[in-house]
Amino acid sequence: MADYRIREEPYYRSTGNEKALYEQAYRHRMPLILKGPTGCGKTRFVEHMAWSLNRPLITLACNEDMTASDLIGRYLLDSDGTAWHDGPLTMAVRYGGICYLDEVVEARQDTTVVIHPLTDARRTLPLDKKGEVVHAHPDFQLVVSYNPGYQSSAKDMKPSTRQRFAALEFDYPHPDCETDIVAHEAGIAPEFARKLVSLARSTRELKNRGLDEGASTRMLIYAGLLLRDGVSPMDSCEMTIVRALTDDPDAALALHRLVHAQFGA
Amino acid sequence: MFPDLALGKPEVRQIPLHLDNRADGDERYWHGLGLLACGLALEPIQVQPLLVTASASPLGGAAPIRAVLVAAQENLSAATPRLLLPSLEGAALQPRMSLHVAMIAHAVAHLRYSPVGQPSSALKPMGMTVVSAIEDARVERLLMRAYPGVRGWFGAHLAAEPDPSDLTFRAFMARLDRILFCTASSSSNHWVSKAQELFERTVGEHGLEDYTAFRAIASILANDLGQMRVRMDPQHYVVPSPFRDDNSYLWQHPESELGDEALALQQTGARPPPAGAGSSTSEEVSPSQPLDLVRYTYPEWDHKIERMKADWCTVIEGHFTRQGSSQSQDNMPQAALRMANLRLRHARQLDRRHSLRRQWEGDELDLNAAIEVQVSRRMDLQPDPRLFLRAGCGPRPTSLLVLMDLSESVNRQAANGLALLDVEKQAAMLLAQSATQGLDRLAIHAFSSNTRAQVNYDRVLDFGEPCTTVVADFINALQGRYSTRLGAALRHASELLLSEPEGQRTMLVITDGEPSDIDVHDRRYLIEDARQAVLVARQAGIRICCLSVDEQADDYVRHIFGWRNFSIAADPQHLPQRLAHMSARLAAGR
Ligand SMILES: Nc1ncnc2c1ncn2[C@@H]1O[C@H](COP(=O)(O)OP(=O)(O)OP(=O)(O)O)[C@@H](O)[C@H]1O
Ligand SMILES: [Mg+2]
Say if the Cβ atoms of B7 and A202 lie within 8 Å.
no
> Residues A136, A6: one domain?
yes
Three-point CA angle B281, B282, B286, nearest 5°:
105
Interatomic CA distance for residues B82 and B437, integer angstroms: 54
Mean pLDDT of chain B: 75
User: Picking from A146-155, A238-247, B270-279, B476-485, which range would have the lowest pLDDT averaged per residue?
Assistant: B270-279
User: Which domains does chain B show, CATH number per domain?
Assistant: 124-139+146-248 (no CATH), 292-345+397-587 (3.40.50.410), 348-395 (no CATH)
> Residues A136, A255: one domain?
no
> Residues A150, A193: one domain?
no
> Residues A219, A259: one domain?
yes
- What pLDDT sits at residue B268? 31
> Residues A146, A183: one domain?
no
CATH number of the domain bearing residue A92: 3.40.50.300
3-state class (DSSP) for residue B228: coil
Which of A198, A251, A263 has the CB atom closest to B146's CB atom?
A: A198
Interatomic CA distance for residues B512 and B487, integer angstroms: 15
Mean pLDDT of chain A: 90
User: Would you say how long chain A is, in residues?
Assistant: 265
3-state class (DSSP) for residue B343: coil
- What pLDDT sits at residue B562? 82
Which of A257, A258, A262, A263 best probes binding to B when mutated, by most B CB atoms within 10 angstroms? A257
> Residues A16, A106: one domain?
yes
- What pLDDT sits at residue B5? 39
Interface list for B 126-165 with A (CB within 8 A): 146-150, 152-153
Which residues make beta-bridge pairs with B400?
A: B442, B506
From ligand 1's centre to the CA of B240, what distance in Å? 49
Which of B147, B152, B352 has the CB atom closest to A262's CB atom?
A: B147
Say yes or no: CB of residue A106 within 6 Å of ligand 1.
no
> Residues A71, A165: one domain?
yes
- What pLDDT sits at residue B269? 31
Q: What is the mean pLDDT of residues B191-212?
A: 94
3-state class (DSSP) for residue B545: strand
> Residues A152, A235: one domain?
no
From ligand 1's centre to the CA of A218, what distance in Å? 6
- The whole-model pTM stands at 0.65
- Strands B388-396 and B364-365, sheet pairing: antiparallel
User: Would you say how long chain B is, in residues?
Assistant: 590
* Percentage of the residues of chain B whose pLDDT score is greater than 70: 71
Per-residue pLDDT tens digits for B409-453 = 888 776 667 777 888 888 888 777 765 555 467 888 999 999 998
Three-point CA angle B168, B169, B175, nearest 5°:
95
Taking the CA atoms of residue A220, residue A225, residue A231 and residue A233 in that order, the dihedral angle to the nearest 10 degrees is: 20
Domain final residue pick, A121, A148, A169: A169
Q: How confident is the model at residue B543 (pLDDT cuts 50, 70, 90)?
A: confident
User: Picking from A86-100, B295-309, B482-496, which range would have the lowest pLDDT averaged per residue?
Assistant: B295-309
Nearest C-alpha in B relative to A153: B540
Interatomic CA distance for residues B587 and B539, integer angstroms: 19
Number of structural domains (chain A) is: 2
> Residues A91, A42: one domain?
yes
From ligand 2's centre to the CA of A11, what distance in Å? 46
Give the closest residue to A169 by CA, choosing from A147, A142, A141.
Answer: A147
Domain final residue pick, A169, A203, A218: A169
Which residues make beta-bridge pairs with B86?
A: B50
Which ligand does the CA of B114 lie closest to? 2
Interatomic CA distance for residues B189 and B567, integer angstroms: 60
3-state class (DSSP) for residue B477: coil
pLDDT at residue B342 tops 50: no
Name chain B contacts of A263, Cβ cutoff 8 Å: 148-149
Residue nearest atom 24 of ligand 1, based on CA coordinates: A38
Domain interval for residue A121:
2-169
Q: How confident is the model at residue B75 (pLDDT cuts 50, 70, 90)?
A: low
Better pLDDT: A227 or B277: A227
- What pLDDT sits at residue A20? 96
Minimum-distance ligand 1 atom for the alpha carbon of A40: 21
Which of B101, B367, B539 has the CB atom closest to A257's CB atom?
A: B101
> Residues A86, A189: one domain?
no
SS3 for chain A is: CHHHCCCCCCCCCCCCCHHHHHHHHHHCCCCEEEECCCCCCHHHHHHHHHHHCCCCEEEEECCCCCCHHHHHEEEEEECCEEEEEECHHHHHHHHCCEEEEECHHHCCHHHHHHHCHHHCCCCEEEECCCCEEEECCCCCEEEEEECCCCCCCCCCCCHHHHCCCEEEECCCCCHHHHHHHHHHHHCCCHHHHHHHHHHHHHHHHCECCCECCCCCHHHHHHHHHHHHCCCCHHHHHHHHHHHHHCCCHHHHHHHHHHHHHHHCC
Q: Tell me which range, A108-122, A163-177, B298-312, B381-395, is most confidently predicted by mean pLDDT.
A: A163-177
Interatomic CA distance for residues A227 and A235, integer angstroms: 9
Residue nearest atom 9 of ligand 1, based on CA coordinates: A41
Mutation probe of ligand 1 site: the residue of A8, A12, A43 with most atoms within 8 A of C-beta: A43
Which ligand does the CA of B137 lie closest to? 2
Which of A198, A248, A257 has the CB atom closest to B36's CB atom?
A: A257
Say yes or no: CB of residue A217 within 6 Å of ligand 1.
yes
Say if the Cβ atoms of B365 and A77 lie within 8 Å.
yes
Domain final residue pick, A150, A169, A188: A169
> Residues A246, A153: one domain?
no
Give buried/exposed letters for B304-325 (b at 16+ CB in 10 A, else e). beeeebebbbbbbbbbbbbeee
Q: How confident is the model at residue B147 (pLDDT cuts 50, 70, 90)?
A: very high
Per-residue pLDDT tens digits for B8-49 = 333 333 233 233 333 444 778 888 999 999 999 999 898 988
From ligand 1's centre to the CA of A206, what distance in Å? 21
> Residues A98, A189: one domain?
no
